[in-house]
A and B are shown apart, each in its own frame.
Chain A
Amino acid sequence: MKKNILIYFDLITSLKTTQEVADFVFEIDTLMLTFFKSEKPSMTKALNSISSDSAKKISSFFSKNKLDVTNRDTVTNFFETIKDLAKKFKVIKLTLAFDPTPKTIANIHNFTKDALGIGYILDIEVSKDLLGGAIVVFNGKYNDYSLKKKIDDTFTLKNKEILQLYK
């Protein structure tokens, strides 16, 4: 059976951070377990075992794409595809100077989606020493775009001039 990845677009793009992905995969596992353990599987019942937000997204996905929630193969395919796609996310590790709100995370994620495309999620850490900006680590590459780094660089470049003031 050929998989139609595009139908997962909304569901996939709704996940913005590694934490959200991990939580979502955990909920999928819970859902799978609940769904397949009953003799007469019921998606509606199974969705009660996960968070309402996730349940709403999955329910919306099935209804929007007119998929049969009673069909074991369809449901199995959904679970496998979702888990497979979750593994394919590219992680952008960001170290920020402040603790971002969900809205800020959404804004940052939207920016990455616009700039880089879909399939990217954020792994966010907080270090207030950075003052501002961010440290970006992707695919093992480390790039410091923080204000602290800028200030340090400025002081290094202007070191002689600064020291001259003290002589």
Chain B
Amino acid sequence: MDPTSIIFFDMVASIVILALGLVAAVIYIAKHLHGSHSSKEEHTSTLDDARTKAVKIIDDANNQAIDIVGKVTLSANVASESFRKDLSQASSAQMKKFEKLTSDFTVMYSQVLQDLKTKNIETFQNVSKDIELNTIEEIKNFKESIKRLTVSSQKEVKEKIDTEYEASKKEIDIYKKEELKKVDSDIYDLLEKIAKEVLGKAISLSDHEALIEDALEKAKKEGVFKG
């Protein structure tokens, strides 16, 4: 609530109180007059006088009230003007202050922002560097790990291949030997068949006898018949 309104309401309240006082006085007098039935006519003039006086008092009170209201209005106007002026000044001052504060705040805010930005940039740069370093480290570790795994895998694969190679070589050797044995056997069989076929037809009875005699002669020479 502004001061002008407060003063205005104070004035109105004073006028109302005075008016009530006047009304109370008039009622009292009227009652007093009405109460004395002694001389109605006597009192008529008095009543008229009183009425006139009352009217006069009311008029005076009204005038006074109007005067007061006028004064109050004036005062209120003056107060309002002053208040407006003060308000304007205060407002202006506040505005200036606010502008200054705003400006300061803006500057500070800019500064803080700038600082934050700088810090953030630094942080980001640091984070970026950290990330870069970490990433490089991770890649390095990953490379090492891959290298180790690759070497290990290569070794395992080589061992497996060597084992498989040895096993296959053995199998092939065994197979080769078996096949050669078969070939051997087949050759013998074949040549025996051929020899049998050829010799069976080619050897005459006398040749057979000669071969048997040779056999017995050899047996004799080797001492088969001794003892």
Contacts and interface: CB of A to CB of B under 8 A. Distances in A.
Contact of B216 (A111, A139, A152, A163): A111
Given A155-B191, A162-B187, A145 B215 contact: yes
Given A115-B220, A129-B196, A138-B219, 12 more contacts: A92-B225, A98-B205, A108-B209, A112-B216, A132-B203, A136-B215, A139-B225, A143-B218, A143-B219, A145-B211, A148-B192, A151-B192
Contact of B211 (A111, A128, A134, A141): A134
B41 to A, nearest CB: 181
B175 interface: no
Interface of B is mostly: helix
Contacts, number: 85
B205 A134 contact: no
A1 interface: no
Interface in B175-211: 180, 183-184, 187-188, 191-192, 195-196, 199-200, 203, 205, 207-209, 211
B213 interface: yes
Contacts of B191: 151, 155
Contacts of B1: none
Given A132-B208, A155-B187, A115 B217 contact: yes
Nearest to A166: B183
A104 to B, nearest CB: 6
B199 A133 contact: no
A62 B31 CA distance: 222
Contacts of A58: none
Interface in A17-35: none
Interface in A56-114: 92, 94, 96-98, 101, 104, 107-108, 111-112
Contacts of B35: none
A7 interface: no
Interface residues of B, number: 30
28 contacts: A94-B212, A96-B208, A96-B212, A101-B205, A104-B208, A104-B209, A108-B213, A112-B216, A115-B217, A131-B196, A131-B200, A132-B203, A132-B208, A133-B211, A134-B211, A134-B212, A134-B215, A138-B224, A143-B215, A143-B222, A143-B224, A145-B219, A147-B199, A147-B211, A151-B195, A162-B187, A163-B183, A166-B183
Given A107-B209, A139-B227, A155 B216 contact: no
Nearest to A136: B219
Nearest to B205: A104
B81 interface: no
A44 interface: no
Contacts of A133: 211-212, 214-215
A5 interface: no
Contacts of A128: 196, 200
Contacts of A152: 188
A97, A101, A141, A145: most-surrounded residue (chain B CB, <10 A): A145
B184, B196, B227: most-surrounded residue (chain A CB, <10 A): B196
Contacts of A94: 212
